[in-house]
Chain A
């Protein structure tokens, strides 16, 4: 299992090299890996029958409960089969679509990494490794969407997709950690069995919002749907893969996966049900507005994602069966349709449906395949899409609390999607042949294999509904529902409400199709969609981000040394001083002062010296006074049992004074550069900080949080360190590495000084 998930990454590393080696046949050969994975996952089907689940465990970071554990049940297997199965055809298709493309080797590399990441998402049992794979899909899809990196628009779209999904990913991480905290485990298989604990968790609503923010952005739900149509900037095989079986389905997968653990509450029902229904409507509404064949399909994907979210939200038995049937149907027809759209684009050189027509004689196979797949999209018998749509109506009609809204929106969406399906299947192929930028001819076999097989599967599953049920849907439904359900899928349900609703949708949809040119004219007038859509919101946020960055750079990085200092100091005063006053009030313990006369004189001398320095106008006087302060400090060390410090201080202080006297005389005299106001401001900042330090010292004098470690150092000094001067033993023995570092610092400073003096000497010579 580990090899199955990671093999994609391994192949990703050698794919570029293999592609160069294999030349034109690369697509067919590389497709062997996903095909082999597909067969491997098929072999798991008997093990998951009846809703059984297998956990395959590999330790990764056991200390943090992070493991590469994989959960194989009906749901993950359904997704894994779609990813590897459709992936096979996408790889073959890419070989034809990007034939001779300069970056084809790189493309295969990213594609396999993406596929492996997707497999990781749907198979992970550990939620942290799930998150890692989740983010890997965001990053690899960024590379795929921005594949035409010389195109500015493509880069922009890729970045938008990345920002939206990664922002959601961050929220998801927080949500997943809360989930682990609530359920007491990082393993999905255990979390899903403790649904009651999770639903009673006090922060359930917050956790749900965080997780759903992640899944909604990933699965392009309103109002985050705008990135998905833009992701069409990717080459068509990528779009086909992203839209049908991967990327956007990751969010759906996670919601379906968490349904037994988090579902069944009012929040779940209303959020998923309503957001899903609105997304479904928005997707179909925008699909009908598009004239770009890829945009049409992209918006119809949003419709499908909305439908799935809505059905998972409704959560009744019928809704779950409908959701999984719809998922399978959508993956099959959407991959086929996208690959056909890519074929049209590739062979005619245009993506605009208004510029195509009469292609059925030139591209007969494409035409027939498009018709079959579009029938499934429209939800007409005898295709599998019909079964899925009937089930969806059945589920919305009996949805708790929100049945009216969901049913009305579902019917309207079905009407519009019916029209879109008819447009896609008929418009480019029928009527008169139109002038296109390229001379059209039938697509090569590599680009037809996928659509033909997938469309045929739509048909087979429709006629023989027991096949997918027996195969995988039964165990997938069991996984989402939490317990097995008995059901059968038939084309003919008898005359009932769903059938009548379907009939209504088909007839109205065909009318809309007939009058599409007029509908389009109305749409054209609705320009507010472009002006006020959520995408403008995204642009505003990005612009605001840049503005804030510029503003804070201007304010903070202004190039004035003293502004940096004042900012740092006042922040320190506010944080440390503020905290101090909040927690201790205004009382400062001023202990009894036990002081001798000469100590008081030394203290007074230091203070006086420091003040005089800051007012002194003469350089030599300032240097001498600083020296006096330094020697005063040395005296303090002498009086209070620190002879080593005193010696060092006196030596250093002497050297400092000599150095200053030598150098300062080459520097200009002190000038009064600051205004009085600036002086007063600086004095205030200085007093504030100095005062805070005094107060803090007074406050901590009597506090001992932990016992000092130095008693142990004293005890070891002679026995272990063989020295009688304990300070010296600490320096050269217990903390020898510190001292070594110190020697390096001083050595470096010396080299620097020497270099600068040499430099000056050379300047003078030249």
Chain B
């Protein structure tokens, strides 16, 4: 599965960057969402992918039985998902506010701090 995931991650990175390079500010936001998904999957893939072995300990045991998927990348990604949602929410409201004030969604025309 990992080689396929490598292609998926590459595709997500490519599309997110393409979206972030657009001049429309709304597309920038969508690029951001794709970018955080790409980064999370990157960590997930490189950390090793295992089917049906969640890092959970059964009742009465002290260790998971029969192997486990690496819990550390999962913990990191969980943090990353939540943080990127925070960033996204902030960005969306900021952009909305900027649009209300400037009445412009072309990034090229938002170069000066005076508008």
List the B side residues contacting A718 at CB < 8 Å.
57, 61-63
What 0/1 readout, one digit per residue, does chain B (43-78) give for beta carbons within 8 Å of chain A? 011100111111111110111100011111011011
B1, A735: Cβ atoms under 8 Å? no
User: A135–B57 Cα gap in the complex (Å)?
Assistant: 61
Minimum distance in angstroms from A751 CB to a CB of chain B = 10
**Is A437 in contact with chain B by the CB < 8 A criterion?**
no
Which of A697, A719, A727 is B62 in contact with, Cβ under 8 Å? A719
- Contacting residues, chain B, for A701 (C-beta < 8 A): 2-3, 6, 45-46
B52: chain A residues at CB < 8 Å are 641
- Given A726-B68, A731-B78, decide whether A607 and B8 contact each other with a Cβ distance below 8 A: yes
Task: Please name all residues of chain A whose beta carbon is closer than 8 Å to the beta carbon of B8 when the two chains form the complex.
Answer: 603, 606-607
- Cα A664 to Cα B96 in complex, Å, equals 8
Q: A686-B18, A701-B2, A727-B74 are in contact. Are A746 and B10 (CB under 8 A)?
A: no
Q: In the complex, A182 Cα to B75 Cα: how many Å?
A: 48
Residues of A within 8 A of B33 (CB): 626, 630, 656
Contact with B along A69-101 (1 / 0, CB 8 A): 000000000000000000000000000000000
Report chain A residues within 8 Å CB of B93: 663, 752-753, 756-757
Segment touching B, from A3-11, A198-206, A406-414, A643-651:
A643-651
**Across the interface, which residues of A come within 8 angstroms of B13, CB to CB?**
686, 689-690, 693
A700 contact set on B, CB distance < 8 A: 46
B residues near A645, Cβ cutoff 8 Å: 44, 74, 77-78, 81
Q: Quick check: B18 and A614 within 8 Å, CB to CB?
A: yes
Contact in complex: B29, A642 (CB < 8 Å): no
Asked if residues B42 and A697 are in contact (CB atoms below 8 Å), the reply is yes
Cβ of A562 and Cβ of B26 under 8 Å apart?
A: no
A545 within 8 A of B: no
A750 on the B face (CB < 8 A): yes
Given contacts A595-B4, A636-B41, A640-B50, is CB(A745)–CB(B26) below 8 Å? no
Per-residue interface assignment for chain B, residues 4 to 35, with 1 indicating a CB less than 8 Å from any chain A CB and 0 otherwise: 11111111111111111111111111100110
Kindly state whether residue A401 has any CB partner on chain B within 8 Å. Answer: no
**Minimal beta-carbon separation of B44 from chain A (angstroms):** 7
Q: A687 to B14, Cβ gap below 8 A?
A: yes
The residue that B21 contacts in the complex, of A655, A668, A685, A725, with Cβ under 8 A, is: A685
The reply to whether A691 and B105 contact each other, CB–CB distance below 8 Å, is no
Are A659 and B92 in contact (CB-based, < 8 A)?
A: yes
Given contacts A626-B33, A626-B34, A749-B87, A640 and B62 within 8 Å (CB-CB)? no
Q: Evaluate contact between A614 and B19: CB separation under 8 angstroms.
A: yes
Instruction: Decide if B1 touches A613 in the complex (CB within 8 Å).
Output: no
Q: Which of chain A's residues have a CB closer than 8 A to the CB of B10?
A: 690-691, 693-694, 697
Whether the pair A689, B17 counts as a contact (CB closer than 8 A) is: yes
Contacts A562-B23, A667-B95, A738-B79 supplied; 16 other A-B pairs, CB < 8 Å:
A560-B111, A595-B1, A607-B12, A611-B15, A629-B34, A641-B50, A643-B56, A645-B44, A645-B77, A660-B29, A660-B92, A670-B27, A689-B17, A700-B46, A756-B94, A756-B96
28 contacts between A and B (CB under 8 A): A565-B21, A591-B3, A599-B1, A629-B34, A640-B50, A641-B49, A641-B50, A641-B68, A642-B54, A648-B78, A652-B85, A659-B88, A660-B29, A667-B95, A668-B105, A671-B24, A673-B23, A682-B17, A685-B21, A690-B17, A698-B6, A710-B72, A730-B75, A731-B79, A742-B83, A745-B83, A759-B97, A763-B100
Q: Which residues of A contact B (CB under 8 A)?
A: 559-562, 565-566, 569, 590-591, 593-595, 599-600, 603, 606-607, 610-611, 613-614, 619, 622-623, 626, 629-630, 633, 636-637, 639-645, 648-649, 652, 655-656, 659-660, 663-664, 666-668, 670-671, 673-674, 682-683, 685-687, 689-691, 693-694, 697-698, 700-701, 708-710, 713-715, 717-719, 724-727, 730-731, 735, 738-739, 742, 745-746, 748-750, 752-753, 756-757, 759-760, 763
Binding site for A on B (CB under 8 A): 1-30, 33-34, 37-38, 40-42, 44-46, 49-59, 61-64, 68-72, 74-75, 77-79, 81-83, 85-90, 92-97, 99-100, 105-108, 111-112
